[in-house]
Amino acid sequence: MKLIPLFLILILLLSCKKEETTHNKFNLLNNSGVVVKVLPTSSMTDTLLLANNASKEFEFPVERGLGTGDNYAFFADSKPVIVVFNNSDTIIHYFDTLTHTGRYYKSNSPRSFYNTSSYGKDMVNNSKYTRTVTLKYTFTAQDYLDAKK
């Protein structure tokens, strides 16, 4: 008789499954040689300032399940993203592939926030149930030159 409760406890313990989770991180690095401002919207309150040779890391809420993580910068939400180098030279990242005026990157540009090939992505399985995905974008000296042309 004592075996039945023990058997039930054993079945309950074996049937429990730990929840799988994905932790998302985003790293923004500035190797352009000058200060960079990112204006995700036309509102100056959303400005992200990044000194030369500086980086910022952002961590986001945990996702349920073992996913592949984010594919774009968190501020790339299908709207034009304005990037200002050295407080004077501007380039705009567009979600579309249309022709625009001024300095810009179309979504198919290898430097666009909207092109997945613009990012470095690192997926680490921390354990059987946990994964950490880090997406990284680096501003380069060429980005600054593209904004200056």
Sign of torsion over alpha carbons 74, 75, 78, 83: negative
Q: Would you say residue 80 has pLDDT above 80?
A: yes
pLDDT at 26: 95
Q: What is the pLDDT of residue 45?
A: 63
* pTM beyond cutoff 0.75: yes
pLDDT given for residue 54 in this prediction: 97
Residue ranges per structural domain of the chain: 27-148
Residue 19, pLDDT score? 84
Q: Give tens-digit pLDDT for 107-134.
A: 999 999 999 999 999 999 988 899 999 9
Please tell me the predicted confidence (pLDDT) of residue 74: 87
State how far the Cα of 73 lies from the Cα of 62, in Å rounded to an integer: 16
pLDDT at 14: 61
Q: Return the pLDDT at 42.
A: 56
pLDDT in tens, 6-23: 666 666 556 666 789 999
pLDDT digits (tens, 9 = 90+) for 24-47: 999 999 999 999 999 986 555 678
